[in-house]
Amino acid sequence: MCGRMATTLPHDAMAQMFAATPANDLPPVPNYNVCPTVQVATVTADEGLRRLRPMRWGFIPHWYKKPNDGPLLINARAETIAEKPAFRSAARERRCLIPVSGFYEWTKTPDDARLPWYITRADGAPLVFAGVWQDWDKGDEPLTTCAIVTTGANETMGQVHHRMPVILSPDDWPLWLGEAGKGAARLMVAAPENALVFHRVDPAVNSNRATGPDLIAPISH
């Protein structure tokens, strides 16, 4: 799964990377502790136009009467996304890219202490997750919400967690966004071995209130 992220890439760099028109209300960067329910930058495509736009991380199904009417859906499992009522329409019609600098996962010690790890691409490039999105309009203000698509971890990532986000290469972006026809389902697989690297970081990140670049700095273990 993926439950916490870091985003450090400036908005203009993201817009250039995706050839996308940026919105005026993108979330501030850098943010070294992106938590569920906050706004994240995403990329969508509509009739040939890519947009870099904010969405609430935490997908709200259309039948929720309020945002917390049910489970917080921050991830969508690739294995069931096409059948789950919450996600199946979005999987067909509303896919997005979610660019981040890295993400966190946790392992546990025998005494149940939570040890955080920070995961990035081995080549230093931004990570681009497969996402799905949905508009929800039953509250005082409409919300555009998203979830990250996850799949079973590859062997490398399996040392930290049994699942991982679906990570897309630039060649995959047009297909996932619906610009290159059908067949996006074949992209929902684990990243190649050795595509990711990870290191232990300070348990300070266990708090969703923690901030600053020290959160991603390696520590000895």
d(CA 105, CA 196): 13
The verdict on residue 221 lying in a domain is: no
How confident is the model over 32-88, as pLDDT tens digits? 999 999 999 999 999 889 999 999 999 999 999 999 999 999 999 999 999 999 999
The verdict on residue 150 lying in a domain is: yes
Rg (alpha carbons) of the chain, rounded to whole number: 17
pLDDT of residue 47: 86
The verdict on residue 176 lying in a domain is: yes
pLDDT at position 1 over 80: no
pLDDT of residue 221: 64
Number of domains in the chain: 1
The verdict on residue 77 lying in a domain is: yes
Query: Which residues neighbour 51 within 8 Å (Cβ) at sequence distance 6 or greater?
Result: 20, 21, 22, 23, 43, 44, 45
Read off the CATH number of the domain in which 186 is found: 3.90.1680.10
- Domain with 115, as residue range(s), is 5-216
Q: Which of 49-53, 140-144, 183-187 has the lowest average pLDDT?
A: 140-144
**CA quadruple 169, 197, 185, 87: dihedral positive or negative?**
negative
Of 132, 65, 124, 47, which is closest to residue 94 (Cα–Cα)? Answer: 132
Please report, as a single letter, which amino acid is at residue 41: A
How confident is the model over 119-139, as pLDDT tens digits? 999 999 999 999 999 999 987
Asked whether the whole model's pTM tops 0.95, one would answer yes
Confidence band of 113 (pLDDT split at 50, 70, 90): confident
Catalytic residues: 2, 105
